[in-house]
């Protein structure tokens, strides 16, 4: 078509098909390994993950994946390898097509050389040994095998995908350091459907473990929140009375708010990831369309009893942290308003005091003004007497009478002059 494609059209479309399900034939087993950096990181080092994968492929002389690939599926001779790179972790799954002479034989993990595992870019977050085989005609045999392979107290078993298969696992780490799962497929179960079931089991275990990483973080900050909550409650209680040092109390509230904001910054990524992984776990369990097998608890019931309480703890801790942060900020705003009101009252008292002082100064000024009129009039009368003195003898007026006659007009003139000057200044 004579129409230009969006630069991301093919990349976005291919992303939907980037992680195909494996096609499996029973009987067989899957060796699953997930590696994660022990430190919290928003993104893995893709170059190290790719180098580690290539090191394994070079041991078997297999072609390398594309430079920007986040998924790989290939035949390594003894087994088929599925590699997936995620935001926080990377997974390796080896599919081995063989019989079940010894189910969950630890020697199956020899597909991953020890020296190659020692160079892994991170630590093992989970590993699982999954056995998939055809279901026996007698379902009692399935229950017997489940009882032999797993711990009955925590065993979860269910029929999945319209009774296409029976899956089971106890979510416990065995003596070899791996979790165990079993898949018993009906003879008419398709190869890709079996692959989807095994893949779903791997995803449930991985995302369950990744979401549980938020629980230790929640427990760690819960103790801190208890101490901070006590300090915050004490400060808020003090605000209901008369504060001796409101500025100091405001500084303490701001310090608490800053500490809570720091905790939110440190935990926001982990808590957000926990919520996302929790949603994926529930979705992966839901798509299995479980049905009860011989009265045993299903995977959904196991998650409800063991997994959901942990997730609720994380969510409640996150909500408590947000609530306390809001409380601290709101208390700081209230106290800041109170400090501003107190300062406004002090400013008003200061202005009133300044008004009183100005009034006193005005009264003093008027008093001084009266005295200054007398003083100026005294000198002005002398000047008038000196000015009119030569005319006193021709007019036959004594100097005393001349002085007395000049006093009142002079005082009046001086008072009018000073009053005029004062009015002009007030305008």
Structural domain containing residue 61: 19-191
137, 252: one domain: no
Mean pLDDT of the chain: 87
Q: Is 320 helix (H, G, I), strand (E, B) or coil?
A: helix
What is the number of structural domains in the chain?
3
Q: Note whether residue 251 is domain-resident.
A: yes
pLDDT surpassing 70 at residue 32 = yes
pLDDT band at 73 (very low <50, low <70, confident <90, very high): very high
138, 237: one domain: no
pLDDT surpassing 90 at residue 53 = yes
Q: Note whether residue 152 is domain-resident.
A: yes
Q: Note whether residue 354 is domain-resident.
A: no
Direct distance between the N- and C-terminal alpha carbons of the chain, in angstroms, rounded to an integer: 86
Q: Note whether residue 201 is domain-resident.
A: no
Last residue of a domain, one of 349, 383, 413: 349
Q: Note whether residue 207 is domain-resident.
A: no
23, 165: one domain: yes
pLDDT in tens, 209-259: 999 999 999 999 998 998 998 888 888 877 776 655 777 777 888 889 889
Strand arrangement, sheet containing 179-185: 71-75, 80-85, 89-96, 28-36, 123-134, 179-185, 165-173, 156-160, 291-292
385, 326: one domain: no
Classify strands 123-134 and 179-185 as parallel, antiparallel or unpaired: parallel
Higher per-residue pLDDT: 332 or 100: 332
User: How far is 79 from 64, CA to CA, in rounded Å?
Assistant: 16
pLDDT surpassing 60 at residue 334 = yes
Q: Could you tell me if 142 and 135 are in contact, meaning their C-beta atoms sit under 8 angstroms apart?
A: yes
Which pLDDT value is given to residue 396? 66
User: How far is 144 from 78, CA to CA, in rounded Å?
Assistant: 31
User: How far is 151 from 148, CA to CA, in rounded Å?
Assistant: 8
379, 410: one domain: yes
The pTM for the full model equals 0.78
Q: Note whether residue 209 is domain-resident.
A: no
31, 164: one domain: yes
145, 40: one domain: yes
Lowest mean pLDDT among 56-65, 327-336, 393-402, 411-420: 393-402
Q: Could you tell me if 264 and 254 are in contact, meaning their C-beta atoms sit under 8 angstroms apart?
A: no
User: How far is 349 from 342, CA to CA, in rounded Å?
Assistant: 11
DSSP letter at 122 equals S
Higher per-residue pLDDT: 151 or 237: 151
Q: Is 35 helix (H, G, I), strand (E, B) or coil?
A: strand
Q: Note whether residue 135 is domain-resident.
A: yes
Burial of residue 274, with CB atoms counted within 10 A of its CB: 0-12 exposed, 13-18 middle, 19 or more buried: buried
pLDDT surpassing 80 at residue 419 = no
pLDDT over 90, % of the chain? 51
Q: Note whether residue 26 is domain-resident.
A: yes
Lowest mean pLDDT among 3-12, 69-78, 197-206, 269-278: 3-12
55, 139: one domain: yes
23, 93: one domain: yes
Last residue of a domain, one of 191, 224, 242: 191
* Residue 132, beta-bridge partner list: 28, 183
| Structure-token pair, residue 47 | 């170059």
225, 94: one domain: no
Last residue of a domain, one of 320, 349, 378: 349
51, 139: one domain: yes
Q: Among 307, 221, 326, which residue's Cα sits nearest to residue 271?
A: 221
Segments of 174-255 assigned E as strands: 179-185
98, 218: one domain: no
């Amino acid at each position: 078509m004579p129409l230009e494609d969006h630069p991301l059209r093919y990349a976005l479309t291919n992303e939907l098909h980037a992680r195909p399900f494996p096609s499996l034939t029973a009987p067989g087993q899957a060796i699953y390994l997930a590696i994660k950096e022990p430190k919290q990181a928003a993104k893995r080092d893709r170059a190290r993950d790719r180098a580690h994968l290539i090191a394994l492929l070079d041991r078997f002389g297999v072609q390398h994946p594309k430079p920007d690939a986040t998924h790989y599926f290939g035949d390594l001779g003894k087994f088929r390898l599925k590699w997936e790179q995620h935001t926080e972790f990377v997974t390796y799954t080896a599919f081995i097509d063989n019989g079940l002479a010894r189910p969950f034989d630890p020697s199956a993990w020899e597909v991953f050389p020890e020296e190659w595992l020692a160079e892994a870019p991170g630590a093992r977050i989970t590993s699982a040994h999954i056995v998939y085989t055809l279901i026996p005609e007698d379902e009692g045999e399935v229950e017997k095998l489940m009882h032999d392979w797993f711990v009955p107290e925590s065993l979860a078993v269910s029929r999945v995908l319209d009774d296409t298969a029976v899956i089971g696992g106890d979510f416990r780490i065995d003596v070899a350091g791996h979790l165990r799962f079993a898949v018993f497929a009906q003879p008419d179960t398709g190869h890709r459907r079996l692959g989807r079931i095994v893949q779903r089991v791997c995803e449930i275990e991985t995302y369950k473990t990744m979401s549980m990483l938020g629980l230790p973080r929640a427990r760690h900050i819960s103790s801190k929140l208890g101490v901070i909550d006590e300090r915050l409650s004490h400060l808020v209680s003090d605000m209901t009375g008369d504060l001796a040092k409101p500025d100091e109390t405001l500084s303490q509230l701001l310090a608490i708010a800053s500490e809570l904001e720091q905790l939110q910054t440190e935990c926001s990524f982990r808590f957000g990831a926990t919520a996302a992984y929790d949603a994926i776990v529930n979705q992966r369990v839901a798509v299995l369309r479980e049905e009860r097998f011989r009265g045993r608890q299903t995977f959904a019931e196991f998650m409800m009893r063991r997994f959901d309480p942990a997730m609720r703890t994380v969510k409640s801790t996150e909500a408590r942290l947000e609530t306390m942060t809001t409380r601290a900020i709101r208390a700081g705003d209230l106290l800041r308003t109170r400090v501003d009101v107190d300062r406004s009252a002090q400013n008003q008292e200061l202005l009133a005091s300044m008004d009183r002082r100005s009034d006193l100064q005005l009264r003093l000024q008027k008093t001084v003004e009266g005295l200054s009129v007398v003083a100026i009039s005294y000198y002005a009368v002398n000047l008038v007497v000196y000015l009119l003195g030569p005319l006193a003898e021709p007019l036959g007026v004594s100097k005393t009478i001349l002085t007395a006659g000049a006093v009142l007009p002079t005082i009046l003139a001086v008072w009018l002059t000073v009053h005029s000057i004062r009015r002009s200044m007030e305008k």
